[in-house]
Amino acid sequence: MSQNIENIKSCYPLFEQDEYQNLFADKHAKYEEAHGDEKVREVFEWTTTQEYKDLNFSREALTIDPAKACQPLGAVLCSLGFEKTLPYVHGSQGCVAYFRTYFNRHFREPVACVSDSMTEDAAVFGGHANMNDGLQNALALYKPEMIAVSTTCMAEVIGDDLQAFTNNAKKDGFVPKDFPVPYAHTPSFVGSHITGWDNMFEGFCNTFTAKDVEYKPGSNGKLNIVTGFETYLGNYRVIKRMLTEMGVPFAMLSDPSEVLDTPSDGQYRMYAGGTTQDEMKDAPNAIDTLMLQPWHLVKTKKMVKETWGQPATDLSIPMGLEWTDDFLMKVSALTGKAIPASLELERGRLVDMITDSHTWLHGKKFGVYGDPDFVEGLVKFLLELGCEPNVILCNNGSKKWKKSMEKMLADSPYGQGSEVYVGHDLWHFRSLMFTNKPDFMIGNSYGKFIQRDTLAKGKAFEVPLIRLGFPIFDRHHLHRMTTLGYEGAMYMLTTLVNAVMEKIDSETMELGKTDYNFDLVR
């Protein structure tokens, strides 16, 4: 092969070279037993029809690209947000390799997470011995100040009891008796990554706060902020900045923004930043706990209301204009702090940006998929921009969430033609991109395959992907951006309107025929 140290090529254009093309052709001819191009095209065209869509939506026993991840992934992210905490997954090693690489590819950072590597014998006899050895080794090797344990499918199917296992590990001397080991059962075969985050956070609450303790809400003068499953690191920073500008004392409960964005300065940081144990112990004494993604923080809300005795003030994700206003006004009402002129100025700049971009975004149709709170906030913002979110899909959304979405859409002149789907996957979404074609789709990196399919039908059928959400594997540094607050709205608006203008550019490139200038003075 022609790959050499003087001329290193990536997969494209490397695989376009003759030797690779000949290799692919030989494999195709000898081993694949594939149908001919004409038959493949015939079937492809059929999968773009209303007839196929009806069949696709009638399937019951198969999920194709589910538009969600599994519970332990969320538990690991939650654990990474605590100071000097090592995420520990009780289960098979392959699962943990998946979690680590998933985060590695999104954040471009090494991710500390260990497994006790359950194999066939543990599946028969239980993973008690694995837990004992794993906790002891993790403590000795990586010297964390806390180990947060979650589970995979194997441990859940055989019924391993984390409470008993961790208690026995302490009793038998594998870890010190006073060493904190928060845990959560996170079976992958139910729920999703957002459920796992909520379950793990409840585990931290149970470790550091107790039902039989009398707390004094408001006595520390702080607000608690719980983001939920949040992968835009800029969102942690923008919330902190807004609260700091307001002069509000706060505690960010689970904050991985430092450990997942460490500098390259010659020093490796396995642990960086994060919520401290003292902050968790003091959390019940705060004025209130604001949950920024309430649709998936079900157990967290119950803990805040019933154990901590706080009101758990209702809040929508602070995304876009109105819901950021609502967030800041509720913070102001709870703390007595005025909203400063700096944030009013920032708000005014956002309104000015919306006005500037209105002519390009008004009436544009968008297909949207992702997690419930993120999709709800994004759709709300699209409606504020005069866009029409005509297809909305959320695999892990509830029926109650769907009703809330439909009401919000019905209340807007731009949501009248919208359709909301819950419990459906990206193969359903693919059908909708052909039969209910929007101008753009918004979602994570997996949407690129749907864009390629729409383009394969013909340029007129292409639905370009705008990358907002998680995971983003095929673009760099977007995880440092922000989608919350006025700043996040500015970023999303910039992304959306420039995608529209980029599409117009791509359609007006033919020299002397379509090369109109749409926003350029010669």
Residues designated as active site? 153, 157
- Asked if residue 288 lies in contact with residue 334, where contact means CB atoms within 8 angstroms, the answer is yes
328: closest CA among 201, 225, 481? 225
CA separation for the pair 81, 112 (Å, rounded): 12
- Name residue 87's beta-bridge partners: 148
* Residue environment code for 410-419, b if the CB has 16+ CB neighbours within 10 A, otherwise e: eebebbeebe
Q: By the 8 A CB rule, do 376 and 404 touch?
A: yes
In angstroms, what CA-CA distances link 217 with 223, 283, 288, 370?
A: 10, 9, 7, 35
Closest CA to 68 of 271, 483, 370, 326: 370
Asked whether the beta carbons of 312 and 301 are under 8 A apart, the reply is: yes
DSSP percent split of the chain into helix, strand, coil, nearest 5: 50, 10, 40
What 3-state DSSP class applies to 345? helix
Q: Which of 291, 493, 470 is nearest to 381 (CA)?
A: 493
Strand pairing report for 85-90 and 419-422: unpaired
Closest CA to 228 of 192, 261, 259, 253: 253
Cα(281)–Cα(285) distance, rounded to whole angstroms? 9
- Cα(426)–Cα(273) distance, integer angstroms: 36
For residues 463 and 438, is the Cβ–Cβ distance under 8 A?
yes
84: exposed, middle or buried (Cβ count in 10 Å: 0-12, 13-18, 19+):
middle
The residue behind tokens 């977007």 is 478
Both structure tokens of 381: 């913002």
Helix (H, G, I), strand (E, B) or coil at 22: helix
* H or E, element range at 383: helix 372-384
Residue with tokens 């494999």: 27
> Which 3 state secondary structure label does DSSP give 261?
coil
Alpha carbons 123 and 474: distance in angstroms, whole number: 37
Tell me 337's DSSP state: P
